[in-house]
Amino acid sequence: MQLALFDLDNTLLAGDSDFQWGQYLIQHGLLDKEEHTAINLGFYEDYKAGRLDIHAFLDFQLKPLSEHKRSELDALHANYMAEKIRPMITPQARALVEKHRQNGDLLMIITATNSFVTGPIAQEFGIDNLIGTTPEEINGEFTGKVVGTPSFQAGKITRLNEWLAARGQTLKSFETTWFYSDSHNDLPLMKLVDKPVAVDPDPTLLAYAQEAGWPVISLR
């Protein structure tokens, strides 16, 4: 069996699910536009430069989850899927996932974005296996804190190895391993798999992929 790993934001999606979740909350009057946008843009610049403080970012990203009841968040998310996410899913992205599904591969989305936001998106793609940063819950409500290792940069390797170990497997258990990503932040994991694929890559990843001879594709 082969293992096909997919980054989500700007890879399977033609956009960023976390950014769009913030925009959705702003549009519905649940976040202050100017304050949220200014802080978020600062984090995005750090992300592009490879210097993002993931814990500071997660404090920012997860705070809105702690300020609303889970039932309210679930209702908001259903509308967010329709308004923001489905329009960002291209036929090419669906076709790529389907190609690996038809091949009988084990499919997984592995993303730094939290699993509350990304869980229903994985379901939209028909992918049962998701590793996302895990928001802490107490009595079914979010606290704004994180459980375990954030699945960002080398943290994706940690979380993937933990998931595989729970199944009695390692990456070497698979005939071939694939990882599709747009970001140089995913280079640690891309360097471990058999077949890394750069998808609509950022300039740093594009330069690395071209030098390494990796495939470069577009799903847009």
- How many angstroms separate the Cα of 194 from the Cα of each of 19, 141, 155? 31, 40, 19
Is 9 part of the annotated catalytic residue set? Answer: yes
The C-alpha atoms of residue 51 and residue 102 are separated, in whole angstroms, by: 38
- Give the 3-state secondary structure of residue 217: strand
Other CB atoms within 10 A of residue 65 CB? 21
- Let me know: does 149 contact 158? Beta carbons within 8 Å: yes
- Let me know: does 59 contact 136? Beta carbons within 8 Å: no
* Catalytic residue chosen out of the listed positions 7, 18, 182, 202: 7
Nearest CA to 43 among 19, 10, 11? 19
At 19, list the tokens.
């950014």
Catalytic residues: 7, 9
